[in-house]
Amino acid sequence: MSVKPVLLVIAHGSRDPRHAATVHALVRRVRSLRPDVRVETGFLDFNIPSAQGVLESLAAEGVPDVVALPLLLTRAFHAKADIPAVLRDAPRRLRIRQAEVLGPSPLLVSALERRLYEAGLTPADKSSTGVVLASAGSTDPEAIAVIAEIAREWRHTGWCAVRPAFASASLPRTEDAVRQLRDLGCERVAVAPYVLAPGFLPDRIARGAAEADVLADVLGPAPEVARVLLERYEAARMPVLAAVGA
């Protein structure tokens, strides 16, 4: 019986201790869903263990196969440059596949709605509520386009309106999107942070939500997020197994 590849979750890292705590909570949920899969965590910056250090430790153990999963919602700089660079520098004895980033996914939209309902909304509020889909922001046009498309698609599920907003690099800001929804005549306005963990930019989103009626929590260890991680792992590991004849 073949051994499943190790799932290495690669997170950005942050000086804010809430970031690493949330990442570890999400990884614990993933482990609980799939106890047959070994799941490790590595960080690009600020936190330990580093992704490079974890890869070196796995190689030293004799682990043959790794699926490296970027804990990111869009394919921006970290997914296109930083993480591939780390993987290129990994010990050559490791066979590594880089999984796709988490978004977009219908499961993540379900997680956004979960957080909004946990913050006090109900499904009956949808038609009278405008939602700000607030992301961290990026200079990558592909990433910005994905956020805009998610907002357009989410609007069709019954919300009064959905507007994208960005905490950095792009416009509009959260507070501007809140005002736009007020001007549209939405009875209430909710802000849904499309971010995985607390930190500097999520705090900026929260400040921008000061005039909103509802502010949802970050996605964090929502069960839907854990399921997306496992979907990306399964999609990436199959070529690995095929390559070694498993």
State pLDDT tens for residues 162-180: 999 999 999 999 999 999 9
Strands 95-98 and 129-135, how do they pair? unpaired
Tallying the residues shown for the chain, one arrives at 246
**What does the radius of gyration of the chain's CA atoms come to, in whole angstroms?**
19
Query: Does residue 36 carry a pLDDT above 60?
Result: yes
How many Å is the maximal CA-CA distance in the chain?
A: 61
Query: Does residue 55 carry a pLDDT above 90?
Result: yes
Determine the Cα–Cα distance for residues 246 and 38; give it in Å rounded to an integer. Answer: 18
Q: What's the pLDDT at 78? A: 76
Q: What's the pLDDT at 77? A: 76
Per-residue pLDDT of 70-118, as tens digits, reads 999 999 877 888 999 999 999 999 999 999 999 999 999 999 999 999 9
**For residues 205-231, average pLDDT:** 98
User: Residue type for 92, please?
Assistant: R
Q: What's the pLDDT at 2? A: 63
- Of residues 119 and 75, more confidence is placed in 119
Q: What's the pLDDT at 1? A: 47
Three-class DSSP category at 101: coil
For the whole model, what pTM was predicted?
0.94
Q: What's the pLDDT at 242? A: 46
**For residues 224-240, average pLDDT:** 92
**For residues 3-32, average pLDDT:** 97
Q: What's the pLDDT at 79? A: 84
Q: What's the pLDDT at 246? A: 42
Q: What's the pLDDT at 94? A: 97
Residue 22 structure tokens = 């949330």
Q: What's the pLDDT at 239? A: 62
